[in-house]
Amino acid sequence: YEGSDSPALRGVSLEIRRGEILVVLGGNGAGKSTLLRTLNGLIPHFYAGEMRGRVVVDGLDTREAPVSELARRVGLVFQNPERMFFSETVLEELMFGPLNLGVDVEGARRRALEVAEEMGLTELLSRPPWSLSGGEMKRVSIASVLTMDPVYVALDEPTVGQDAKNKADISALIRRMREESRGVIVVTHDLEWVVDLEPDRIVLMESGSIAADGRGREVLANGRRLREIGFSPPVCARVSEELGVGPRLTPREVVEGVLAWRGFG
């Protein structure tokens, strides 16, 4: 970034695939949010600084392709949903993206209504976005991205401020995106939620670099590596470690491990 003495990202080489959920974990300043901004062209088009290397999305180099074209492929959901709202009603908010991509009013409205029905937002369409609850605002912010039908969806800290039910709803929505063959990239600090999400891959970032890239369960079960980047392992992983029954990620798995250890497996 302009004015910084050190790069926010260094030596990052990463391929993100359609039909997979990729979670990015790391402490503050690890480069997670910067990585998201490179995916849809916000970097280098809207942030001053020096960019080396290439980011290619479906064959488009993000340095050369206009952000409007990249938005058709990568949808970015920011941590604070209220910062994404531009319109007076939820319906107008859902139509905003398609209209800016050149879709006519009728087409934008049709797409907005389809996504609203899929996400249980139909009853909220006439409401101002700012009048909604935190969970409702989060769903509207995700829906506003989905109306543009992107191939990839990137979410920055989607569970911040959400209760258990909203977190479960977000997990279900992300898994549905995977079923629709979208690539989903999630930046989060919420490790217990990640266990429930069951991502295909987890990338650990440290000081702007990728410290690990592996299968979701394998990374979550690696307590030593998680501690090295400042994360406490998931509760069940810690319990199973203390009991000496191997890495277990859910209560059911812990019980099964204990029963097997006692000869009841």
Burial 223-235 (b: 16+ CB within 10 A, else e): bebbeebebebbe
CA dihedral for 182, 188, 193, 194, sign (positive or negative): positive
Out of 21-30, 106-115, 235-244, the most confident range is: 106-115
Interval 172-194 mean pLDDT: 95
Taking alpha carbons only, the member of 220, 251, 176, 173 closest to residue 23 is 220
pLDDT at 38 exceeding the cut of 80: yes
86-111, pLDDT tens digit by residue?
Answer: 899 999 999 999 999 999 999 999 99
206-238, pLDDT tens digit by residue?
Answer: 999 999 999 999 999 898 899 999 999 888 888
pLDDT at 255 exceeding the cut of 80: yes
Cβ neighbours, 10 Å, residue 195: 18
The pTM of the full predicted model, rounded to 2 decimals, is: 0.88
Higher pLDDT: 255 or 57? It is 57
Domains of the chain, by residue range, sit at 26-199
pLDDT at 264 exceeding the cut of 70: no
Q: For residue 200, what pLDDT is reported?
A: 98
Q: What is the CA radius of gyration of the chain?
A: 20
Q: How far apart are CA 90 and CA 104, in angstroms?
A: 18
Q: Are 32 and 183 in contact (CB under 8 A)?
A: no
pLDDT at 265 exceeding the cut of 60: no
- Report the alpha-carbon angle 186-173-45, nearest 5: 40
Interval 142-162 mean pLDDT: 94
Q: For residue 188, what pLDDT is reported?
A: 94
Q: For residue 115, what pLDDT is reported?
A: 96
Please, which pLDDT band fits residue 260 given cuts at 50, 70 and 90? confident
pLDDT at 242 exceeding the cut of 90: no
Q: How far apart are CA 131 and CA 134, in angstroms?
A: 9
pLDDT at 43 exceeding the cut of 90: yes
Looking at the domain covering 26-199, what would its CATH class be? alpha beta
Please, which pLDDT band fits residue 123 given cuts at 50, 70 and 90? very high
Q: For residue 185, what pLDDT is reported?
A: 98
